[in-house]
Amino acid sequence: MADQAERQFKLRQLSARLGYEFQDESWLELALTHRSAGAKNNERLEFLGDSLVNFMVADLLFEQFKNLPEGDLSRIRAHLVKGETLAKLAKKLALSDMLTLGPGELKSGGYRRESILADALEAIIAAIYQDGGLQACRGFVESLYAKSLHALDPQTVGKDPKTRLQEWLQAQQQPLPEYSIISVNGAAHAQVFTVACYVAPLNTKFEATDTSRRKAEQKAAEIALEALGQV
């Protein structure tokens, strides 16, 4: 009984963080239950929540950026609804502490896994829709993304560092960055690439290392952007 009372208390605390009080709290419990915990889990809610968040974020972007073309809107939406972004939002809501996981996922630290956190947040979005309807769900999604929407730069958000660096240099009428491989180490199945990104205005090479040439180039471009004050 004590464990159940503590769980109910934590669920009410979570509802307060969500800014939504469930009429039927079983929807919230279901949204927090990973498939590893049993047959009754949040997979169906996650399926519905994925569509809901895509639609509602698209609607919010359509209203906020009235002159942006479809391509830019799609890029920004993709950034806002991707798993990494959803997982960050889930962490801010402290969902990790509330997840119901099976023994295997508990042992492997599943409560920290980004994919599980992102899926749980999508499931919560669907749970609010099921419990309170479309307007309640939209209000939650709008609140969830309020800070992100206010702070984002539609010209840069969702663009990878290499693209942003190239566009900035082009805008300054400067030569494009030059990438070169410095070294490749490790066995064929576990190679590590070190690359350099030369930026003419700074007359500097920025080096980075990662498990693929593409990832290393992106990291080097990110370092260059920081040096240019563009991050």
| pLDDT tens figures, 65-79 | 999 999 989 989 999
Same domain, 132 and 172: no
Number of domain units in the chain: 2
Q: Report whether 46 belongs to an annotated binding site.
A: yes
Q: What does the pLDDT read at residue 231?
A: 64
Same domain, 81 and 166: no
CA geometry: angle 43, 47, 49, nearest 5 deg: 110
* Residue 81 covered by a domain: yes
Q: Report whether 97 belongs to an annotated binding site.
A: no
Same domain, 77 and 129: yes
Which residue among 120, 151, 182 closes a domain? Answer: 151
Q: How many CB atoms lie within 10 A of CB 160?
A: 13
Same domain, 11 and 118: yes
Q: Report whether 119 belongs to an annotated binding site.
A: yes
Mean pLDDT over residues 8-23, rounded?
94
Which residue among 106, 123, 151 closes a domain? Answer: 151
pLDDT tops 80 at residue 42: yes
pLDDT-based confidence at residue 2 (cuts at 50, 70, 90)? low
* Residue 141 covered by a domain: yes
* Residue 156 covered by a domain: no
Same domain, 81 and 136: yes
Same domain, 15 and 125: yes
For 144-163, the three-class secondary structure string (H helix, E strand, C coil) is HCHHHHHHCCCCCCCCCHHH
- Dihedral sign computed on CA atoms, order 97, 91, 85, 29: positive
Tens digits of residue pLDDT in 204-225: 999 999 999 999 999 999 899 9
Mean pLDDT over residues 175-180, rounded?
93
CA geometry: angle 212, 215, 221, nearest 5 deg: 140
Q: Is 99 helix (H, G, I), strand (E, B) or coil?
A: coil
* CA distance linking residue 177 with residue 169, whole number of Å: 8
The pLDDT mean for the chain works out to: 92
Quote the pTM value. 0.76
Same domain, 119 and 215: no
Same domain, 119 and 196: no
Q: What percent of the chain has pLDDT over 70?
A: 99
pLDDT-based confidence at residue 152 (cuts at 50, 70, 90)? confident
Give the residue numbers spanning the domain of 190: 161-227
CA geometry: angle 109, 112, 118, nearest 5 deg: 130
Q: What is the CATH number of the domain that holds 165?
A: 3.30.160.20
Same domain, 165 and 144: no
Q: What would the DSSP string read from start to end of 175-206?
A: PPPEEEEEEEES-GGG-EEEEEEEEGGGTEEE
**Positions marked active-site:** 50, 122
- Our CA dihedral for 110, 113, 115, 118, rounded to 10 degrees, sits at 100
Which residue among 130, 151, 172 closes a domain? Answer: 151
pLDDT-based confidence at residue 1 (cuts at 50, 70, 90)? low
* CA distance linking residue 194 with residue 211, whole number of Å: 9
H or E element at residue 210:
strand 204-210
3-state helix, strand, coil in the chain (%, to 5): 65, 10, 25
